[in-house]
Amino acid sequence: MSSTVKYSLAIVLFLVLGFGSVIYNRSETIQNQIFESQIVSLNDGFGYKILRGEKIVIVQEFVPGLPGKQQFVSKEEAQKTANLVLSKLEEGKSPILLPADLAKLNISTQVGH
């Protein structure tokens, strides 16, 4: 086998391994870009966290868009709200919620739960 053929095979092997490594690392990076939520149990109610991979992006201990510091009254309400935030983030929109968003989700807004 000539040295030119060996050299060409070495280059091809190097490129294949390099390309494979790039594809593998990219798939791991994409996996880390997926948003997820975790419901958090608090003293007087519930909240949620939004994560991207292992990184915490949002910690929401109070119902967003309302004055004061009111926690969610149930896990279900916290999860519905977290799901709306997740959908906004996945669409590339701002995760800010307004009182109208909470009304559509039937989130309790009474101070004395």
pLDDT of residue 19: 55
The answer to whether 72 touches 78, Cβ cutoff 8 Å, is yes
Summary mean pLDDT of the chain: 81
Give the range among 23-32, 47-56, 75-84, 103-112 with minimum mean pLDDT. 23-32
pLDDT over 50 at 9, yes or no: yes
**Average of per-residue pLDDT across 90-106:** 91
